[in-house]
Amino acid sequence: MQHETAVDSIRLFSGFARGSLRLILRGNRAYWTWLAFLGALILSGVLAYSNQVRFGLGLTAMRDQVSWGFYIGNFTFLVGVAAAAVVLVIPAYIYDWKPIREIVIYGELLAISAITMCLMFVMVDIGRPDRFWHLIPPFGFLNFPSSVLAWDVIVLNLYFVVNFVVATHILYRAFHGKAYIKKLVVPLVLLSVPMAVGIHTVTAFLYNGLAARPYWNSSILAPQFLASAFCSGPAILLVVLQLLRRFTRFEIRDAAIWKIAELMAYAMFLNLFLHGSEAFKEFYSNTQHLLFTRYWYFGVGAHHTLVPYAWSAVALNLIAFGLFISPRTRRNPITLNIGCLATYAGVYIEKGMGLIIPGLTPDTLGEIYEYYPTVTELRVAAGIFAVGFLLFTLMLKVAVPISLGEFMDKKDAAPEQDAVMAVAQAAH
């Protein structure tokens, strides 16, 4: 009996794997063009990275004065994107709000792609990637609980595993026409909610805990991280959902999209409010610590490389808020998508460069080194984003047909409706 089950599960899995591969290899011109585009970016990124490994991080614009830059900025932004799956999970599972529940699985797939990119951004930023195993016990030594970075390593990897298990389990079961195992999924999903908040809080604490950097050493940082994450994550998802609705038989009700846009408006309000509070404190008290905020918004002396970015971020966030708060504009597909792009770009700027660079400029002894990413950094970053998008594309390519009931194991094919239900029930 035991033996049979093992053989059986191997057969089931190989069916799933072969089927998935078939799905991935089938696609129209637009699909292949997209993959080729991503492939080219990845290739360019790999070449740039191999140069960087050979020569050292000197190929980036980072120096002792500004020792973190574009890579860590992207890492921070993407942790937010990954955390934002929760904005969908909370209403879906806790308030049992059905229209959103059907699309939660895509939030989880997005989280998986985002965490993968996060880990890659950390990997390309470290000076000795050959020693990354020094972090992994029992081979290495993880300085837990003293180092917040150790906490971050743990929560990011756990969050990845939780999302990966939930998403693949639901899809795998649906593929075989079965409902997922409640006892496995429900606790994991419930766990993923505090974990999503956790990964972003820990990432904020990573900066927050450094008294040497007054720009980061503000207790508003973690709440502001969460608020902006709840804007940027859903912004990507909304665009993806609209694309899915357009190009597949996948049905997503307008109500779901509008609801997410509404939630984004509240999150954006909170984000702007927290930024405003911080700006008030800095400018009104007018201590020496104002220098960092001034460098970001106005520049210091002859140094104002980042000023246009700072005000673009403010403008984009304000535009996004305006478009999402008004029911008329969030229901109009054009203004909705403008709002999504504005949110994405606004948060990307403020949370990437806008967080890291002013945090380190001027340096702890007052020197201003104007950081601006080099071509190597841009190429490596583009390559990593391409890997993330590739992963997301391929996962969608498999997940969508399964949830539509179009792609199932023929042997134990259940009625199509069951599979759809199985995914739709992703909550219980």
Partner 1 sequence: MVSRRLFTQTAAGAAAGMILTACGPKRLYEAPKDQLKARIAEMERKYKEQLGKEIEVSDAGPIPGVHFAYALDLSRCIGCRRCVYACVDENNQSRDPQIQWIRVFEMEKEKGVDFSHADPYYNPAAVPEEGHFYIPVACQQCENPPCTKVCPTGATWAEKDGIVVVDYDWCIGCRYCMAACPYGARHFNWTQPSIPENEINPDTHYLGNRPRPKGVVEKCTFCIQRTRQGRYPACVEVCPVGARKFGNILDADSEIRYIIEHKRVLVLKEELNTVPRFFYFYAT
List residues near partner 1 by CB under 8 A. 55-58, 62-65, 67-68, 122, 125-128, 131-132, 134-135, 140-143, 146-150, 153, 206-207, 209-213, 288, 291, 359-360, 362-367
- Tokens of residue 124, six digits: 């390309």
Q: What is the DSSP string of 259-275?
A: HHHHHHHHHHHHHHHHH
Nearer to partner 1, 108 or 125 (CB): 125
Give the residue from 79, 165, 103 showing the smallest Cα distance to 424: 103
Query: Could you give the angle at the alpha carbon of 373 between the alpha carbons of 371 and 376, nearest 5°?
Result: 145
Question: Is 183 or 366 the residue whose CB approaches partner 1 more closely?
Answer: 366
The type of residue at 21 is L
Which is nearer to partner 1, 198 or 359 (by Cβ)? 359
Contacts for 193 with CB less than 8 Å, ≥ 6 apart: 86, 89, 90, 93, 94
CB-nearer residue toward partner 1: 8 or 367: 367
Please, what is the minimum distance in Å from the beta carbon of residue 167 to partner 1? 28
Could you please report the per-residue DSSP string of 121-140? Answer: HHHHHSS-GGGGGGGSTTTS
Q: How far is the CB of 184 from partner 1 (least distance, A)?
A: 32
Cβ 208 to partner 1 shortest distance, Å: 12
Q: What is the distance of C-alpha 121 from the center of its chain?
A: 12
Closer Cβ to partner 1, 142 or 252, answer by number:
142
Q: Specify the residue, 203 or 343, whose C-beta has the smaller distance to partner 1.
A: 203
Q: How far is the CB of 381 from partner 1 (least distance, A)?
A: 17
Distance CA 115, CA 82 (A): 6
Cα–Cα distance measured from residue 379 to residue 221, given in angstroms and rounded to the nearest whole number: 29
For the bound state, the minimum distance from the C-beta of residue 99 to partner 1, rounded and expressed in Å, comes to 42
CB of 149 to partner 1, least distance (A): 4
